[in-house]
Amino acid sequence: MSVQEQDAVQSNREAALDGLYSDIHEGHMFPFWATSDDVENDEVRQLMATAKAVPFVWKYSDIEPLLQRAAKLITMDDSERRSLILINPGLSPKRASVSTMYTAYRLNDPDEIMPPHKHSPSAIRFGLTGEGNFTGVEGEDVTFGPGDMVLTPNDAWHNHGTVGGEQAVNLSVLDLPLVETLHAVHFDHHYTEIENGKEVEKKVQSPVYPSDYSQIVYGEGGMVPRFLDHKRGGGKSSPMWVYRWERMQAVLDAFADHDGDPHEGIVVDYTNPTTGGPVFNTINFYVQMLRPGEKTLPQRETASLLLAPFKGKGHSIIDGARYDWDRFDTLAVPGGCWVEHVNGSDTEPVIFFGATDAPTQRALLLYKRWGRNAAGDLLRFA
């Protein structure tokens, strides 16, 4: 075959391929066979080039003034919510701080109470400022302060606000991006109770449990009353709906001089007291402490993390780049990133409040975790 004939064959083939690819894409299909970097339609590269979360720090020094401005302009008559959702720059405009979770900061002015609602995404509230944060969950009215974590489980009626005459700010974490991906999001704002045999719409949940029920029943680790119902709220989460900071602080104090984990420092998980597992089936929460001057060794895991420094300040090295953070900021660590944390203070600890989607990955047998030792050798942990 002459050079001219070879060129003609190649030209005809390229024209035919262009037509083939055009017809495939117009038919809303995706070809998965071209794997060479030097072709226009490298499907492997395109498949891997989907939107991904990136490491990012949202500064509370930017967030808090915006919340205060919103408090002056947005009343409860305008909206039942006054929250700022953190959107990862790599995922925008999707409402997601990492691929499976989002964090939001909520400010309530004194004595604002929103009506009850429920939804399929699981959520928590973590107190930042003010002693009068309020969440009512399925008849347990919870007033909480800094460091306290309150669950609002999948499909459990709940409402939010403040009591006690002072402004308060809390941080929320939801698995909404994950539930949204599964097309399983639903919200319900039509709250009713049965009164005198009739269904009556209500703006406030009637108390069913004493306000300290979670602590009375589940506040002592390793002991659970057998005679009580532990599947309240449908049994879709931990039945302990408030985790008090004083209990967590006591655990951290007890391990302050422990060697800990060189890749994580001191980490304490929140757990379902009836199973010992995560508080939700999809995501879980923990507290991580770095002692004064502590620097963790590099670690990488498939789970995505959201970290909020509750005390202290420092920086993290994520895939070789430095990210500085301060109290009440939020740090996104997407799954697959190498990360090290550094407490730059010689006198004060750093305490993170953390969220992870590891429960979902473990349930799907997808979770993996690696580290490096001081010599730089690769270690496999999970």
pLDDT bin (cut points 50, 70, 90) of residue 221 is confident
pLDDT of residue 78: 75
Q: Provide the edge-to-edge strand list for the sheet that holds 102-108.
A: 83-85, 102-108, 168-174, 123-129, 149-152, 242-243
pLDDT of residue 260: 96
Please confirm whether the linkage preceding 115 is cis (ω < 30° from 0).
no
- CB-based contact 101:123 (threshold 8 Å): no
DSSP secondary-structure letter at 167? -
pLDDT of residue 37: 55
Domains defined for the chain, CATH in brackets: 56-380 (2.60.120.10)
What residue type is 371 in one-letter code?
Answer: G
Share of the chain above pLDDT 90, in %: 81
Tokens for 154? 């999948």
- CB-based contact 137:211 (threshold 8 Å): no
For residues 368 and 2, which has the higher predicted lDDT (pLDDT)? 368
pLDDT of residue 335: 98
Q: How far apart are CA 360 and CA 83, in angstroms?
A: 26
Alpha carbon separation from 284 to 65, 97, 271, 279 (Å, rounded): 29, 15, 8, 6
**Which stretches within 137-272 are classed as H helix?**
176-181, 213-218, 245-254
Q: What is the mean pLDDT of the segment spanning 55-80? A: 90
pLDDT bin (cut points 50, 70, 90) of residue 47 is low
- CB-based contact 330:97 (threshold 8 Å): yes
pLDDT at 43 > cutoff 80:
no
pLDDT of residue 20: 87
Return the residue matching tokens 């590099």.
298
Residues 6+ apart with CB under 8 A from 302: 335, 336, 361, 366, 367, 368, 369
168-217 confidence digits (pLDDT tens) = 999 999 999 999 999 999 999 999 999 999 999 988 899 999 999 999 99
For residues 75 and 80, which has the higher predicted lDDT (pLDDT)? 75
pLDDT at 79 > cutoff 60:
yes
pLDDT at 87 > cutoff 70:
yes
pLDDT at 15 > cutoff 70:
yes
pLDDT bin (cut points 50, 70, 90) of residue 42 is low
- Mean pLDDT, the chain, integer: 93
